[in-house]
Amino acid sequence: MAIPEAMVSPISGLFETLTAAGAMAAAEDRDRAAGNPFEVEIVGEHAGTIEGPSGLTIGAQRAVDEVDETDVVIVPSTALDEELDWVPGRHPAMVAWIRAMHERGATVCSACSGGMLTAETGLLDGHAATTHWVTEGYFREHHPEVVLRLDEALVVSGDGGRLVTSGASTAWHDLALYLVARHVGPATAQALARFHLLQWHQGGQAAFQVFDPGTDHGDAVVLAAQRWIADNYAVAAPVAEMVRRSGLSSRTFKRRFRAATGETTISYVQRLRIERAKRALETGNAPIEEISWAVGYEDAASFRRLFKRLTGVTAGEYRRRFQLPDLPPVSAGRAA
């Protein structure tokens, strides 16, 4: 599907990857890949050129009202506004078409923030789904019935596995490879991955998520606590100190803190400390034990366990994956 808010690169990437599945079919999958296993089309509310939010254009080959049946519908990533939000109700014809295709047997997929448009169909209600982690607030507010699994890069749910959602940005790789593995074969999916340098995000999204708690909740006492803990996260007994500084009873402060931030006081402190540790791992070479101490944990073993629980990877693995790389040197030309 293409709509004016859709990002062009995931649409073109999915289109070209699925179109190439037949030519890249592994030997063991060639019976299933006879001809071209996917007949891929881009559809819009109207046929013709659609300009995306970046100014790039993409062509819709048909209008949705010309398509009565399909096996798979893919809702692509969409651009969000400055508040990382989505305005519902802009595409009722597309929402109705997605729902109709699902009722007629189609598997409905969404890539990244396209899950917000998919959620308008009601199909995700009561089912597990993932999406870009920055849209969590929107989903919690507008679609509380959706069972969010934001730590996962790909979630398959619904009757017969006919709801498939993928996470942030390049998790469309996971979606494309999954569809190829499901409809052609896993060996062909692996062949495509090798050829195009696509990858399964098997570790999920947790390591990529940034803890950026909101401060627009309107509770001045909680806001003061958030501002204090942002600079004093490593102190001993930080929750007790926040309570003391608030002038409230422990029970009242903790209740108001959770209502305002969506986090318990202890989970807030833990996530803040781990976020600071992630920055240290990305930008320096300090030993993990030293980083543990710097963010408030005297016991490095406890820090390591907490880091793995919150990010899905070990601190060492996180450093190997996300440490800022040195720029490659300029290669010398061949001597004359």
DSSP string, 123-161: TTTTSEE---GGGHHHHHHH-TTSEE-TT-SEEEESGGG
pTM of the full structure: 0.80
Q: Over the stretch 88-106, which tens digit does the pLDDT of each residue have?
A: 999 999 999 999 999 999 9
Distance CA 130, CA 113 (A): 9
Q: At what angle do helices 265-283 and 315-322 cross, to 10 degrees?
A: 50
The answer to whether residues 233 and 196 touch, using CB atoms and an 8 Å cutoff, is: no
Distance CA 242, CA 231 (A): 12
Domains assigned to the chain: 8-208 (3.40.50.880), 220-322 (1.10.10.60)
| pLDDT, position 329 | 78
Residue type, 252: T
> 265, 290, 278: which is closest to 318 by C-alpha?
278
Q: Over the stretch 229-244, which tens digit does the pLDDT of each residue have?
A: 999 999 999 999 999 9
**Weakly modelled stretches of the chain, pLDDT under 70:** 33-35, 82-84, 327, 331-336
| pLDDT, position 321 | 87
Q: Phi and psi at residue 227, in whole multiples of 5°?
A: -65, -35
| pLDDT, position 35 | 67
| pLDDT, position 80 | 79
